[in-house]
């Protein structure tokens, strides 16, 4: 029942929105595979090649955010903050928009250290906003 409803919702979208959501799902899959098979220090070189400087229209940032959030909820794997941030960074870079990917950590009592990633474009958090307030920044790419 829920799958049918999701499919109907997807088919009711405008063509451009449908393509953007498919692109987001494809980038989430690509980033998940990349994180599994490519050493992280090689990935950081690619992340640094996508600089933050060029600004982007707020409508583009919002559209990419929505597409990543929707795709992350609907892919058959757990799309956590790092592949989401990497996918959003790639999608914005394809549109000529700069962004900065941040990595941080949070120390919680009884849980130990928890990593978090978020993406900032134009001074606004694109993805990963939920854990930014608690996270201590450790690295920035772009």
Instruction: Collect the ranges in the chain with pLDDT lower than 70.
Output: 1, 3, 6-7, 10-11, 50-53
Please report the pLDDT score of residue 16 as a whole number: 82
Please report the pLDDT score of residue 105 as a whole number: 93
Q: What distance in Å separates the CA atoms of residue 126 and residue 92, rounded to the nearest whole number?
A: 10
Domain residue ranges of the chain, discontinuous segments joined by +: 2-141
Name the nearest CA neighbour of 28 among 83, 78, 90: 83
Please report the pLDDT score of residue 55 as a whole number: 77
Please report the pLDDT score of residue 121 as a whole number: 92
Q: What is the pLDDT of residues 24-36, one digit of tens each?
A: 999 999 999 999 9
Q: Which residues contact 112 (CB under 8 A, 6 or more apart)?
A: none
Name the nearest CA neighbour of 62 among 125, 11, 18, 116: 125
Could you give phi then psi for residue 111, rounded to 5 degrees?
Answer: -110, -15
Q: Which residues contact 131 (CB under 8 A, 6 or more apart)?
A: 81, 104, 106, 114, 116, 118
């Amino acid at each position: 029942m829920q799958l049918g409803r999701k499919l109907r919702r997807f088919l009711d979208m405008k063509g451009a929105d449908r393509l953007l959501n498919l692109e987001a799902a494809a980038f989430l899959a690509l980033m998940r595979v990349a994180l599994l098979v490519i050493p992280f220090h090689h990935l950081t070189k690619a992340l640094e090649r996508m600089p933050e400087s060029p600004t982007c229209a707020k409508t583009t940032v919002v559209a990419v955010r929505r597409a990543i959030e929707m795709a992350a909820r609907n892919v058959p794997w757990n799309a956590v903050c790092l592949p989401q941030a990497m996918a959003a960074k790639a999608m914005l870079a394809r549109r000529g928009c700069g962004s900065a990917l941040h990595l941080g950590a949070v120390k919680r009592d009884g849980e130990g250290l928890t990593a978090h990633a978020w993406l900032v474009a134009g001074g606004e958090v694109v993805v990963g906003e939920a854990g930014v307030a608690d996270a201590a920044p450790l690295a920035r790419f772009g």
